[in-house]
Amino acid sequence: MKKSIFNASFEESLNLEDDGFRKLQQEQHDKTEKYFKNGKPSLWFRIYSFILGLVFAVGLNFMLLAISFTLHDDANNLRLAITQNSFLTANVFLIGLFIWLLLVVLGKFIRQNSILPYRYNFHIFTNMIWFIVELDLLFMDFIVPAISFWGVAVICIGFLAMLIWLIIAENHHLGCLLYHKTNKVLLRDKISKTIAVYGMSLLGIVLLIKHVFFAGSVDISDSMKALGFFVTWIAINLATVVTVIFIGTPYFLQAYYKLKYPEEYRNWEGKSLEEWYGKKYLKKHKELLEHE
């Protein structure tokens, strides 16, 4: 019977340390962890996080909405065709804002000091997803007139199928990693090597397309500009999918196991009760002092 990636023992869960993509997030995790040494962030870090949330979470997403409004108001002067009604509306922004803030509030119920860095980075990942959804809707305003609504629908269905397939592949990889199953060279591993070797080249190509198609210094046909939008759209979405699935999944799965086996992980990392749980959490869970 196939075992779920959520049912590993403590010893098996330690195998997540060997995941190559999870290691890519470790540096960011270590930097964030420094701000939670005493079980709660400093006042400076709280102000810093609030400003970042206001600017990058709320601000950037609102900026996309403002750009959408501006483009549609100036539709007659655009060199590319744009839909009459925008896919990115104020209601879409408000729904995204509500969901993101709801996740922030729900995250407040997870207060163990060892999990706080994961909680903080989780909000960064969810903001990235929110941003890419709005960006996709903004791109749709230009792509739909170029290849029709049904053409975009077919592409989205294909992209969704690929997304499901990658999730299944990642689940299989993590199952092999956790339970020491035979793990042949998977597409996931090939993708990671491809990103490592060609990632910067791909980024360079995307930037070149953006510069040539949208700089306005070269007379490019509308169809070629539409192609530029399409290629950029695909590249951005692929980068986001790889980040969320291949980096986010093993990283947050590790947080899940630290919640599931807190004492085992505390002892394994050699942390004291105060370092692992924080003073505030220990005051409400005095039974944990019996483990000292």
pLDDT tens for each residue of 115-137: 999 999 999 999 999 999 999 99
With a CB cutoff of 8 Å and minimum separation 6, the contacts of 253 are 5, 6, 16, 174
- Res. 184 pLDDT band, cuts 50 70 90: low
pTM of the entire structure?
0.82
Query: For residue 262, what are the CA distances in angstroms to 7, 67, 265, 277?
Result: 15, 46, 5, 9
So where are the chain's domains? 13-260
pLDDT digits (tens, 9 = 90+) for 230-279: 777 888 888 888 889 999 999 999 999 999 999 999 999 988 888 888 88
Please state, in angstroms and rounded to a whole number, the distance separating the CA atoms of residues 85 and 89: 9
Output phi, psi for 12, to 5 deg.
Answer: -70, -35
Please state, in angstroms and rounded to a whole number, the distance separating the CA atoms of residues 123 and 41: 15
Structure tokens at 123: 């909000």
Output phi, psi for 181, to 5 deg.
Answer: -85, 160
Query: For residue 292, what are the CA distances in angstroms to 51, 197, 250, 288?
Result: 38, 48, 30, 8
Cα–chain-centroid distance for residue 128? Answer: 5
